[in-house]
C-alpha cells in the first residue's frame, strides 16, 4: 500500500514538472561548436502576458551572441542591409555590422523583422530587447532578464519579454528566426533556427538568406490538406500535449479525426476547427467586433465566464457605478409580445451558457472579443420556447447561438425534420441582427448559407417548449465570403421615409403555392417592437402573418399580393421596386385603394409617393400586381379576399376594396347565424356571436361581387 501511495505521489510530481511549451531545434549545423545548432534548441511558452524563452545549450560553450529577429506586426524589414547601429557589442550583433564589415541577413519571403532579442553571457553578460530602426540607433525596450547571465556552460538559459513589448498580444502569433555570431566583429556562425542556412560559417563580410522561419505558437498552415494529424499542415509539426497552437483563417481549415491533447490554442476570427473525437486543452476563439454597435453573439467554446476582468479585457460597454448595466444582455419572451432584454450588471459574474445567444456591445475598439474554454465535441440541443400562444402576449422567439468554433450549414439545420417540426411554419428561418442593413440596423431572415462561429440568432418556436438540434454533421469549414448570382425571378419592394428603409421580397418559383410554403415564405421578426416596416400577406389561406419573404407560383397575371405597412400619420412615404429576371412584357404595379390609383414601379427611377392622413399598421390599402397590361380600378376582384379568426369572437376580413359590404355566416346545415353590413377599408373585424366549434360558411357580398368560403371555429 505504501508503495502505491509513493508511485501516485511521484506521478503527480512528474506531471507538475512538465512545462507546456513548443520546442524549436537548431538547423543541424555546429560551426561554433554546437551552442544550439546541432543538439541544442529553443523552447517558448507564455502565461498570457509574458513570453518565456529557454535556450537548451548543445555541446558548445555559450561564448558569443544569439540574436532572435521577431516579426510580430505589419511593417518591418526584409533584411539587415541598412542597419548601422554599432553602439555596443549586442547592437553590432543585431546590425550584423562592426563599423567596417557587414554580415547581412536576408529574411524569408513574407517575413519583416520588427524587433530583436540579443543575448551574451560572456563578457557583456546581458540580454535585451530592441525595436529595429533602418539606420541609427535601434530603440532599446528593456532587459530580457537572462538567467544565468555569467555562465557559458549552463545547460539552459531563460529570458522573457511581454507580448505588449513586441507590439502584439497573447491572442496573436509571431514569427522569428535566430542566428549566432561573434558580437564584437559580427563574424557569423552557420548555427541558426530557421531554414536555408547551409553548413560552413559565413563569417564576415557575408550574407545569409533564410528560406523559412518559425512561428509561436505552433501555427496551422493547411499546406497539405485539412487533416490535423498531418505534420506538413503545421509550422512545427503535429502538436503534442505540451504545445500551444494558433489557427489563422486559411484556405484549408483543420479537422481532427482522432483524439487531440494540447496545452492551449487560439483560433483567429473567421477560422474554424471541427473535432470528431475528444479534444483536451483550452481554446480561445477571437470574435471580430470592430465597432461599438450591439451584436448578437454566442460563445463558440464551453465554460467561458464573464466578470469585471472579462468585461474590461474585452472592452465591453460598462460604467463606473456599481449596480448599473453593462453591455451584455439576454432575451426573455415571457413578458409581452415583443419581449424584453435582461442586462448583466456592473460587477456581476456568471458563465456563458452553451448555445445561448447574447446581445453584446463594446464601448471601445481595437481588439477582438475573446472566448476561452473547451471545445464542444458533441451535438447541441438548445431549448426554445413560446409564451402565451394564441394570447395577446404571444411571443415565440428564443435567442440561441452557434456553440462550435466552426460553421453551421443553415440548409442542414433547417432541413432536419425534427427542426422543421420545432419551428413555426411561417418562420422556418434563422433571424440575425444586421448592423449594415439598408436604412439602419435590423433583422434579416436566413434560410441558406452558414452561421459564423460566435454568431447569435433568433428562432421561432412552434410549441410552448421544444429543442433545436445542432448536430456535428451540420458543421463545415468556410474560408471566405462567396458571392452568389441571383437567378430567381423576384420583386423587391422597398418603403422609405426620410432615412428609414424597409423592404419585402417576392420570389416566383415553379413549385410554390399562393398559400404557406415553409422555409420559402418567411415571416417578419416581431420579437422586438418596430415603428416602420413593409411586408406582404399570403394570397391564399391568409392567417394574418406578416411576411418579409414570400414565394409564389409563376402565374403573374392572376395574383394580387396584399402589401402591409406600418408607418405614422402625417409622413410622406415612398415606394420603389427592383424587378429581377421578370419575363419580357411583365410590369410591376402598386395599387393604392384609398386613392384609386395604379403606379408602375419597374421602370427606371419610378416611385410612388403619398402622405398618410392616418397611421397605418396592416394590409388593405396597398396591393402589388405583376401584369402585362395597364390596370384600372375596374380590374380588381374578390380573388384576394381572405377570412380568418383572430380569436374565438372575431372574424377578420382582408383584401376588400373600399365600399359597402355584407357578410353572412351559415352553419354547415345552412342555418344563418350572422348577418352584418360594414364599410370596408381593406381590413375589417367582424364580432362573432357565441358559436359552437365546427365548420361554417362565410358569404361575402360587395360592389365587386359575391364570395363564399369555409372557415373552421376551434
Q: How far apart are the first and last CA of the chain?
A: 75
**Euclidean distance between CA atoms 163 and 174, whole angstroms:** 10
| Residue 17 pLDDT | 35
pLDDT at 2 over 60: no
User: How much is the average pLDDT of 88-108?
Assistant: 96
| Residue 708 pLDDT | 85
Q: Which of 194-198, 257-261, 641-645 has the lowest mean pLDDT?
A: 641-645
Q: What is the pLDDT of residues 357-388, one digit of tens each?
A: 999 999 998 889 999 999 999 999 999 999 99
| Residue 320 pLDDT | 55
pLDDT at 40 over 60: yes
| Residue 540 pLDDT | 86
Residue that wins the pLDDT comparison between 115 and 628: 115
pLDDT at 1 over 80: no
Are 262 and 245 contacting, i.e. CB atoms less than 8 angstroms apart?
yes
pLDDT at 519 over 50: yes
Are 154 and 148 contacting, i.e. CB atoms less than 8 angstroms apart?
yes
| Residue 441 pLDDT | 63
pLDDT at 713 over 90: no
Pairing of strands 255-256, 274-275: parallel
| Residue 488 pLDDT | 73
User: How much is the average pLDDT of 479-485?
Assistant: 42
Pairing of strands 465-467, 475-476: unpaired
Are 508 and 501 contacting, i.e. CB atoms less than 8 angstroms apart?
no
Which residues, including other chains, have CB under 8 Å from residue 29's CB and lie 6 or more apart? 37, 38, 189, 190, 191, 192, 197, 198, 199
pTM metric for this prediction: 0.83
Are 659 and 674 contacting, i.e. CB atoms less than 8 angstroms apart?
no
Cell numbers 483560433: residue: 267
pLDDT band at 3 (very low <50, low <70, confident <90, very high): very low
Are 310 and 515 contacting, i.e. CB atoms less than 8 angstroms apart?
no
pLDDT band at 471 (very low <50, low <70, confident <90, very high): very high
Q: What is the pLDDT of residues 155-185, one digit of tens each?
A: 999 999 999 999 999 999 999 999 999 988 9
What's the Cα-to-Cα distance from 170 to each of 49, 260, 340, rounded to whole Å? 7, 22, 37
Bridge partners of residue 206, in order along the sequence: 103
pLDDT band at 9 (very low <50, low <70, confident <90, very high): very low
Pairing of strands 305-306, 672-680: unpaired
What's the Cα-to-Cα distance from 128 to each of 179, 319, 478, rounded to whole Å? 15, 40, 42
% of the chain surpassing 70 pLDDT: 92
What's the Cα-to-Cα distance from 4 to each of 18, 341, 598, rounded to whole Å? 22, 56, 92
What's the Cα-to-Cα distance from 227 to each of 100, 247, 327, rounded to whole Å? 50, 13, 39
| Residue 640 pLDDT | 67
The dihedral built from the CA positions of residue 308, 311, 313 and 316, taken in this order, carries a sign that is negative
> Could you give phi then psi for residue 422, rounded to 5 degrees?
-70, -30
Are 495 and 503 contacting, i.e. CB atoms less than 8 angstroms apart?
yes
Amino acid at each position: 500500500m505504501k508503495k502505491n501511495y509513493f508511485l501516485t505521489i511521484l506521478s503527480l510530481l512528474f506531471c507538475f514538472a512538465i512545462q507546456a511549451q513548443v520546442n524549436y531545434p537548431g538547423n543541424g549545423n555546429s560551426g561554433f561548436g554546437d551552442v544550439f545548432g546541432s543538439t541544442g534548441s529553443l523552447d517558448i511558452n507564455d502565461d498570457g502576458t509574458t513570453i518565456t524563452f529557454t535556450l537548451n545549450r548543445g555541446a558548445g560553450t555559450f561564448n558569443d551572441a544569439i540574436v532572435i529577429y521577431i516579426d510580430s506586426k505589419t511593417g518591418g524589414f526584409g533584411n539587415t542591409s541598412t542597419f548601422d547601429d554599432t553602439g555596443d557589442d549586442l547592437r553590432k550583433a543585431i546590425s550584423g555590422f562592426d563599423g567596417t564589415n557587414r554580415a547581412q541577413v536576408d529574411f524569408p519571403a513574407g517575413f519583416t523583422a520588427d524587433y530583436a532579442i540579443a543575448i551574451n553571457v560572456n563578457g557583456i553578460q546581458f540580454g535585451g530587447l530592441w525595436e529595429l530602426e533602418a539606420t541609427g540607433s535601434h530603440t532599446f525596450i528593456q532587459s530580457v532578464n537572462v538567467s544565468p547571465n555569467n555562465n557559458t556552460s549552463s545547460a539552459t538559459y531563460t529570458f522573457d519579454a511581454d507580448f505588449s513589448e513586441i507590439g502584439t498580444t497573447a491572442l496573436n502569433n509571431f514569427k522569428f528566426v535566430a542566428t549566432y555570431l561573434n558580437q564584437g566583429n559580427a563574424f557569423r556562425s552557420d548555427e541558426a533556427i530557421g531554414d536555408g542556412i547551409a553548413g560552413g560559417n559565413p563569417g564576415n563580410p557575408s550574407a545569409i538568406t533564410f528560406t523559412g522561419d518559425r512561428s509561436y505558437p505552433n501555427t496551422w498552415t493547411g499546406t497539405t490538406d485539412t487533416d490535423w494529424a498531418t505534420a506538413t499542415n503545421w509550422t512545427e509539426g503535429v502538436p503534442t500535449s505540451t504545445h500551444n497552437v494558433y489557427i489563422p483563417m486559411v484556405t484549408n481549415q483543420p479537422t481532427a479525426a482522432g483524439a487531440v491533447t494540447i496545452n492551449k490554442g487560439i483560433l483567429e476570427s473567421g477560422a474554424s476547427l471541427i473535432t470528431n473525437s475528444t479534444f483536451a486543452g483550452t481554446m480561445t476563439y477571437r470574435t471580430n467586433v470592430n465597432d461599438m454597435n450591439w451584436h448578437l453573439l454566442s460563445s463558440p467554446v464551453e465554460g467561458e465566464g464573464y466578470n469585471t476582468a472579462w468585461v474590461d479585457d474585452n472592452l465591453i460597454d460598462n460604467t463606473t457605478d456599481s449596480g448599473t448595466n453593462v453591455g451584455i444582455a439576454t432575451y426573455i419572451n415571457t413578458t409581452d409580445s415583443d419581449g424584453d432584454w435582461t442586462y448583466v450588471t456592473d460587477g456581476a459574474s456568471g458563465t456563458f451558457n452553451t448555445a445561448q445567444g447574447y446581445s453584446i456591445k463594446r464601448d471601445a475598439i481595437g481588439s477582438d472579443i475573446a472566448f476561452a474554454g473547451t471545445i464542444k465535441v458533441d451535438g447541441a440541443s438548445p431549448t426554445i420556447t413560446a409564451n402565451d400562444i394564441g394570447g395577446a402576449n404571444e411571443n415565440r422567439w428564443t435567442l440561441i447561438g452557434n456553440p462550435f468554433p466552426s460553421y453551421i450549414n443553415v440548409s442542414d439545420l433547417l432541413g432536419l425534420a425534427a427542426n422543421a417540426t420545432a419551428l413555426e411554419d411561417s418562420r422556418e428561418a434563422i433571424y440575425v441582427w444586421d448592423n449594415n442593413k439598408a436604412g439602419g440596423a435590423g433583422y434579416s431572415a436566413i434560410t441558406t448559407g452558414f452561421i459564423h462561429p460566435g454568431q447569435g440568432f433568433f428562432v421561432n418556436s412552434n410549441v410552448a417548449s421544444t429543442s433545436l438540434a445542432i448536430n456535428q454533421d451540420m458543421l463545415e469549414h468556410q474560408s471566405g465570403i462567396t458571392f452568389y448570382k441571383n437567378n430567381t425571378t423576384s420583386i423587391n419592394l422597398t418603403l422609405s421615409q426620410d432615412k428609414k428603409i424597409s423592404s419585402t421580397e417576392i420570389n416566383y418559383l415553379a413549385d410554390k403555392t399562393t398559400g404557406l410554403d415553409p422555409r420559402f415564405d418567411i415571416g417578419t421578426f416581431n420579437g422586438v417592437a418596430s415603428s416602420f416596416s413593409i411586408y406582404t400577406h399570403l394570397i391564399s389561406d391568409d392567417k394574418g402573418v406578416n411576411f418579409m419573404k414570400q414565394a409564389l407560383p409563376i402565374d403573374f397575371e392572376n395574383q394580387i399580393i396584399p402589401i402591409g405597412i406600418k408607418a405614422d400619420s402625417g409622413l410622406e412615404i415612398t415606394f420603389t421596386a427592383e424587378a429581377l429576371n421578370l419575363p419580357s412584357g411583365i410590369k410591376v404595379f402598386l395599387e393604392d385603394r384609398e386613392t384609386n390609383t395604379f403606379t408602375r414601379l419597374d421602370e427606371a427611377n419610378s416611385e410612388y409617393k403619398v402622405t398618410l392622413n392616418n397611421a397605418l399598421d396592416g394590409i388593405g390599402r396597398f396591393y402589388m400586381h405583376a401584369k402585362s397590361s395597364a390596370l384600372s380600378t375596374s380590374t380588381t376582384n374578390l380573388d384576394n379576399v381572405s377570412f380568418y379568426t383572430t380569436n374565438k369572437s372575431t372574424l377578420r376580413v382582408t383584401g376588400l376594396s373600399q365600399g359597402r359590404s355584407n357578410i353572412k355566416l351559415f352553419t354547415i346545415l345552412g342555418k344563418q347565424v350572422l348577418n352584418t353590413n360594414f364599410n370596408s377599408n381593406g381590413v375589417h373585424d367582424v364580432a362573432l356571436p357565441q358559436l359552437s366549434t365546427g365548420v361554417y360558411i362565410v358569404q361575402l357580398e360587395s360592389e365587386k361581387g359575391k364570395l363564399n368560403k369555409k372557415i373552421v371555429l376551434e
